[in-house]
Structure 1
C-alpha cells in the first residue's frame, strides 16, 4: 500500500480542511460535500483525513464494528458477550460510482438460503464504513438507486437487506464525505441536504502559490515515505488536537443568544426545514471546541452559517450556491456579543498563520495566500494554522477560461452574417409536460423513458447472465420442480441447483440525451419573443435535470450552426450558455439539423445505450443553406428526413407568433416524424396528448418518408 499524502501538507484550502476537521471533532455535524474544479486536492484531503481520526474500539471478530461498551443487539454476528475490545484505526471506505447495490448493502447467498435455509450474508460497504468515513468521489454521478440506499442508511443509521423474505439488519452510522465537479452535473436535492457542510474549492491563480504546489507534489512523488516522515510531527499535533476537542465538546455551552443567532440566520435566508438550524448548532459547538473554548461565540455562528447554509438555499439547479455575507453580518449584528465564561486557554485560532513546516526552507514563502495540493495537484501547510481563504477566480468574466460558463461568448465567423442583437434574459421557467422516447431502452437509470433496468416492476424472468441480484422465486421453483425425483429428494425441502436460478427482469425508467437545437437567427430576435423561447428551453432543461438526463445545445444563426455545449450532465452550464445566447442574421435551419445529426452520431459511438431525444426550437423558417449551398427549404427537408430515417425521436417547439402563421414548424415536425407544439402548449397544464405523439414518432416517421417520396 502506498504512503498517503499527509493531511497537514495540503496547501491552503482553509474551508475544506476546517470542514473536514470539524466533522472529525463532531461526526454529528453530518459530513462534507466538496465542490470544485479538477486538480484542487479534494480527494487528497479527504483520503488523508482518516489518519487523523482517533482509533475505535470494536468487538473482536465482529464484521460490523460493534462497540464493546454498547454492541448492537441486532448485529448479524451477535449476540456479543461483554468483555474487552480491540482497537483499530478508523476506516475510510470508498464507494465507486459504478458499484452495484449488493456491493453497497451486502448480499445474501440466495442458493444457500433456498437449499439450506441459512442466512449466509456477506457485508457490504455500509457495514465496512460503520463508525468511520464513507467517501464518494464524483458523488453527483452516483446512480439513483444507490442514492436511495444512502439516504435510507443516513436517515436511520442502519442498513436493511431484503431478499425474498430473508431479512438482515445492521448498524450503519458513518461520516458521509463527497466530492464533485459541478461542470459534470448537479447533485440530487435530497442527497444534497444530507451533507451537513459544503465547501467550494478552486485552484489559486497566484504563480508563487502554484509553484509551491508543484514543488511539494514532486517532493512527495520522489520519496513518499520521506515526505510523510517530515510531516509526521504536524500530523501528531493535529491528531492530538482532534482528541482534545472531542473531549472538550460535551462541555461546550450553546447559550440562548447563540441559538437565537442561529434561528435568525436560517429564517433570514429562508432556509427550508429545521435541519439547517440543527447542523449550524452542531457546527458552531464543534468550532468552539476546536478553538479550545467552552462557549459558542458570534464568530462561531458566522463561520457555521458559511459552511452549512449555501447548499440549502438553492431553489433549483440554476441558482448559484453561496451566501450573501453582508446580509449575514447584518443579521448577526442585531445580537450582542457573548463573552466566554471560565474558558481554558484557547488553542490557536484556525485562521492564524502556521509556523514554518518541516519540508525545508521557508514553509510558506508565498505569504498568507496558500493553495491546496497533493496527489490531486497540490501540497501544503499544517491545518492547525488554518491559513486564509484561497485566491478566488477572477471576478471579471472576460478573464475567465474560455470553456467556463462565465466566459463571454465570442461571436464566431458564421455570425457575421447579419446584425447581432444583445442577449436577453429568459422568462421564468415553468413545469413542462413529459417528453419521452418511444420503445423500450436499456440506458442508465433515470426518470424519462421506459427501459429495462435493475429496478422497477417485475415483467418476467431469465437465466442470470452474471451474479444473481434479483431472484424470481416463482420461476426458480418452476425450473427446479420437474427434477426433484431425479435429484433424490426425500424430505419436504426443495432441491435447488445453480442452473435452476432465475433472474427477475424489471422495467423502470432511463435517462436520455436531450439535444436542443435552438434557432438564434434574426427571425427570432424580437426581444419579448426570444425571452419566451429561452424561458421554454430553460423549463425543459430543469425537467432534464430532474429526470437525470444528459443535455446538449446546438444553435444556428448567420451562415452556420455551432455546438454551443457538448452533451453533458451539467444542465446549469447549459442554462448559462443559453442565457448569453445572442440573436441575429439569417436562418440556416438545415445546418442546425445536420450539426445535430453529427453530434448524435458521435454520442452513439460513446454511449450506444443512451437514446436521444431531439428538441428543435424554431419558427420553421429557412433562409440560408449555410456552407452546403442549394435551396434552403429542400436541404432542410432532406436533413429532417435523414434524422427520421435513423429513428431519432424528435419534438418541434413552434415559436411562430402573430396573426398570420405559415405553419413551417408543423411541416418540419412532419419531416422529422414527431409532434409540433407551441410555446404555450409546452406547459404541463395545456399539453394534451404530447406523450402519445412522441411515443409514436418513430413508427410514423417511416410512413411520412415513404409518402413524401411517392
Structure 2
C-alpha cells in the first residue's frame, strides 16, 4: 500500500473535509482520484458556490507520486517513458517522491504556454534546440484544472482534446519536434450563465456535477461560520481537520489498492449498457465511464463486487451531460427517470449480504439541474440590476429553427478569439510581426527576430558562430484568425407588432440566429420594450440557452416605448464595451417603427436613434409593420436615423430574415 499524504496545520489551503454541503461534488472528485481512467470532473454551478475551493483542496489528500529525479515530465521510475525528452532513464535511478500536483490552466493562456515552445534566445545564441515544457508536461500524472473552462479559447480546447485523446502532447514547429506523455485528470469549473462547452470537450469529462448554494438557512450558517473561522486563523483551522484529512487520504489509498480486485459481473455490465441505451447517449464513452465509475465507487465503499448502488451512483455522475438533448435544453438527469431505467434493467448479481459493509460513498442530496439553471439565471439578472420578461400577455412560440448563414463583420478587428468575424488573434495565418513587450509570451517570428538582431552583431562584439540576441530583438508573430461578436437583439414586444403569426416568424428567425451563435460561441443579449418601459431580458452573456428561454416566454401587448427601448439598448452596449472592449457588437432592432408611449413619442425615438448612430454601432432594422392597410414607413425613417440597413419583414420573413441579416457586410 502506498503511503497517504501527510497533513499539517501549516497548510495554507482550505481543508477538503471542511467543505460543507457539497457531498456530490466531493464524491465525484474522490472517485476521479481513485480511478484517473474515469476521465476527470466538470463542475457546473452558479457563482460563489466554492467550486474552485473544493478543487484546490483536493490535492491535500491525494497520494504522493514517485517520479524520476530531474525529469521535467514526471516519468514513473517503474515504467519510464522510452521517448521522454529528458531520457533515457536508467532503471537504477532512485525515485523521488513528491506531493500530487495540481496545474492551473489560465483561460487566457497562449498555445506556447500550454504545449511548450522553443527557447528562442538559446537557439539563436548557442545554436541549440532547447525545448521549454508547458503546462501539459507539468500536469502529467496529476490534475489539470481549468477555471471557467467554458470560456477557454477554441485553439486551447483543440490542444486539450488532442492530449486527452492520445495521452501525449506533440510539438512540431520552429525546428522543435518533441513528444511526451500527458496523462492527467482534467477538472473544470464553469458558470452556465456564461455559455456551454463544445460537445467534443464536454464528452471528455468523465463525470459532471451541478452545484447550487443550499437554500437551507442552517447549512448556509454552517458554511459562513467555517469560512470566517478559516479566515481568522488559517493554521489553527486546518489543524482541527488534520485527523479527518488523514483518514480520508488513507481511505483513498485503500480504495486505489482495492480497485484491481473489484469484480464487474456480466449482469452489472449489462445493467450499465441497458441504462445508457435508455438515455439514448451517443457513442460508447458513457458506458465505459459508467462502468469505471461503478468499479471505483465499489472500491471506495470497501466492496469487491459491483452492486446496484454503485451503478446508480455512477450513472448520476456520468450520464447527465451525455444524454441526447436539443441544443437549448438544459443538461441534467431526472432521478425518477434514472430509477425507472434501473428498475427496467437487468440487476447485477447480488453478493453475500454483509451487515458490516462499508459506507455508501457519501451522502446524497442531488441537485435538480432545471432548478439550478433557473436560479443561476435569475441570480445573474438580480446581480445586473435588471428584471425579467415583461408582464404576462399574449405569448407566441417559435417554429422549428433552421440553419443560419454566417454573420460576420467585414473589417478585421482585434477581438477575442472565436469563430465568426476576421480579427487579429493568437491563432490563424501569419500576416506580420510586432515587437515583444517586456517578457510577453507568444509565438516568435524567427525571420523577423533574426533581421532585428543582425545589424547589431558588430556593436555587440560577436565572434564565432551563433547570433548575439537580446530580449529587445525578439519579434512576435501577428496572426489573423476569427473573433467572437456580441449580437444584441432589441425586440419590440408591443401590441402594434401585428398578428401572432408575424410575431411567431420573428421569434423563429431570432431563435435560428441564436442557434448559430450557440454553435459559434458568440455572446448574445436581449432587450425588449413594451408598455411603458424597456427591459433587459438578458444581459450580454454566452448562455444562448437562457436567451432562447427568455425569447420564447416573451409576451406581446401594450404601448410602444420605442425611445426607451433605444436608450436602454445604448446603455447595455455601453456597459458591454466597458466589460469587454474587444468584442464588437451588432445590433438587430426588430420593430414596426411605431412609438406610442409618452409625449412626442416618435420624435424622441428619432432623437435617441441619432444619438445611438453617433456611437458607430453596426445596426440592422427589421420592419415588422403589417402589409394590410396604410403603411406608415416609420421603421425606414428610423433606420435612416440610425445609419442602419433597412429590411422589410414581408421580404425577409422567417428564413429570409436570417439570410439577409447574415449576408450583410458591416463596415
TM-score for the superposition, normalised by structure 2: 0.89
Q: In structure 2, what is the Cα distance between the partners aligned to 1:223 and 1:494?
A: 55
1:585 aligned to 558, 564, 568, which one? 558
Cα distance, 1:435–1:656 mapped onto 2, change above 3 Å = farther
2:417 is the alignment partner of 1:441 = no
Determine if the alignment matches structure 1 residue 652 to structure 2 residue 621. yes
Aligned residue among 160, 163, 171 for 2:173: 163
Q: Is the 8 A contact 1:205 1:392 kept in 2?
A: no
Secondary structure at the counterpart of residue 311 of structure 1: coil
Aligned-pair CA distance for 1:608: 2.5
Deviation at 1:233, TM superposition (A): 1.9
Please name the residue that 1:673 is paired with: 643
Residue of structure 2 in register with 1:630 after alignment: 600
CA distance in 2, matches of 1:570, 1:442: 23
Q: 2:170, 2:177 within 8 Å by CA — same for their partners in 1? A: yes
Show the counterpart of 1:45.
54
Equivalenced residues, count: 652
Distance 2:15 2:357 in 1: 22
Paired residues of 2:593 and 2:623 also in contact (CA < 8 A):
no
1:342-395 CA-partner distances (Å, limit 9, x unpaired) = 7988753236xxxxxxxxxxxxxxxxxxxxxxxxxxxxxxxxxx2231676996
For 1:509, the equivalent position in structure 2 comes to 482
Q: Matched residue of 2:260: which SS?
A: helix
- Structure 2 Cα separation of the partners of residues 594 and 172 of structure 1: 52
Conserved? CA contact 2:330–2:369, under 8 Å? no
CA distance in 2: counterparts of 1:564 and 1:463, whole angstroms: 44
Q: Does 1:389 align with 2:353?
A: no
Q: Check conservation: 1:554, 1:564, Cα contact below 8 A.
A: yes
TM-aligned CA distance change 1:481 to 1:218, over 3 Å: closer
Residue 564 of structure 1 and its aligned partner are, at CA, apart by: 2.2
In structure 2, relative to structure 1, the CA distance for the partners of 1:105 and 1:602 (3 Å cut) is same
Displacement of 1:610 after TM fit? Answer: 1.9
Specify whether residues 349 and 689 from structure 1 end up closer, same or farther in structure 2 by C-alpha distance, changes over 3 A only: same
Q: Does 1:8 align with 2:2?
A: no
Out of 610, 617, 622, the position equivalent to 2:583 is 610
**In the alignment, structure 1 residue 268 sits paired with structure 2 residue 241:** no
CA deviation string 1:661-686 (max 9, x = no partner) = 84554554444334344668477789
Cα distance in structure 2, aligned partners of 1:51 and 1:499: 42
Task: Judge conservation of contact 1:310–1:323 (CA < 8 Å) in 2.
Answer: yes
Contact 2:279/2:324 (<8 A) preserved = no
Bigger Cα displacement from structure 2, 221-230 vs 23-32: 221-230
1:21 aligns with 2:11: no
For 1:279, which of 270, 274, 289 is the aligned residue? 289
Maintained 8 Å contact 1:204/1:392: no
Q: Deviations over 1:225-282 (max 9, x none)?
A: 2322222222222212111111111122222222222222222211111111111111
Q: 1:338 to 1:439 in 2, by over 3 A?
A: closer
Q: Given the superposition, is the C-alpha separation of residues 225 and 317 from structure 1 closer, same or farther in structure 2, using an over 3 Å criterion?
A: farther
Name the SS for the 1:302 alignment partner: helix
Post-superposition CA distance 1:577-606 (Å, at most 9, x none): 222222111223333222222222233233
3-state SS, counterpart of residue 665 of structure 2: helix
Distance 1:682 1:17 in 2: 51
- CA deviations 1:511-535 (Å, max 9, x no partner) are 1221110110102263333233222
Structure 1: how far apart are the matches of 2:376 and 2:351?
Answer: 48
C-alpha contact (below 8 Å) 2:268/2:347 kept by paired residues: no
CA distance in structure 2 between the aligned counterparts of 1:307 and 1:589, rounded to whole angstroms: 48
Unaligned runs of 5+ in 2: 1-9
Q: Give the aligned partner of residue 459 of structure 1.
A: 431
Q: CA deviation at 1:326?
A: 2.7
What is the CA–CA distance in structure 2 between the aligned matches of 1:241 and 1:114, rounded to whole Å?
Answer: 52
Q: Deviations over 1:383-416 (max 9, x none)?
A: xxx223167699699999954689997777xx7x
Change (3 A) 1:302 1:678: farther
Aligned match of 2:5? none
**Aligned-pair distance for 1:37?**
1.7
Q: Are residues 526 and 475 of structure 1, via their aligned partners in 2, closer, same or farther at CA, if it must alter by over 3 Å?
A: same
- Corresponding residue for 1:131? 141
1:79-123 deviation per Cα after TM superposition (whole angstroms, max 9, x unaligned): 111123121111112222222333322232113223433122222
Is the Cα contact below 8 Å between 2:103 and 2:139 reproduced in 1?
A: yes
For structure 1, the 5+ residue unaligned runs are: 352-385, 699-710
**Pairing of 1:659-698 with structure 2 (within 5 A):** 662=631, 664-677=634-647, 681=652, 691=662, 693-695=664-666, 698=667
Q: 1:74 to 1:463 in 2, by over 3 A?
A: same
| Match in the other structure for 1:383 | none
Which range is displaced more, 329-338 or 685-694? 685-694
Root-mean-square deviation (CA, aligned residues, Å) is: 3.2
Whether 1:192 and 2:227 are equivalent positions in the alignment is no
- Output the TM-score relative to the length of structure 1: 0.84
The answer to whether structure 1 residue 245 and structure 2 residue 221 are counterparts is: no
Task: Look up the SS of the partner of 2:109 in the other structure.
Answer: coil
Inter-CA distance 215–401: structure 2 relative to 1 (3 Å threshold): same
Please identify, of 441-450 and 216-225, the stretch whose mean Cα deviation from structure 2 is larger. Answer: 216-225
Q: Which residue of 2 aligns with 1:473?
A: 446
1:576 Cα deviation from its structure 2 partner: 2.5
Deviation (angstroms), 1:27: 0.5
- The CA distance in 2 between the partners of 1:230 and 1:557, in whole Å, is 58
**How far is 1:142 from its partner?**
1.9
User: Which residue is 2:152 aligned to?
Assistant: 142
Q: Distance between the aligned counterparts of 1:461 and 1:125, measured in 2?
A: 25
After superposition, where does 1:197-216 map in structure 2 within 5 Å? 197-216=207-226
Which of residues 298, 301, 312 in structure 2 aligns to 1:288?
Answer: 298
3-state SS of 2:204 partner: coil
Shift of the 313–531 alpha-carbon distance from structure 1 to 2, 3 Å rule, reads farther
CA distance in 2, matches of 1:20, 1:398: 25
Match for 1:349 among 355, 359, 365? 359
Distance 2:346 2:441 in 1: 63
CA contact (8 A) 1:294 1:343 kept: no
Contact 1:433 1:683 in 2 (8 A): no
Q: Secondary structure at the match of 2:556?
A: coil
Aligned counterpart for 2:335 among listed residues 295, 307, 325: 325
- SS of the residue corresponding to residue 321 of structure 2 reads helix
Contact 1:202/1:393, CA 8 A, preserved across alignment = no
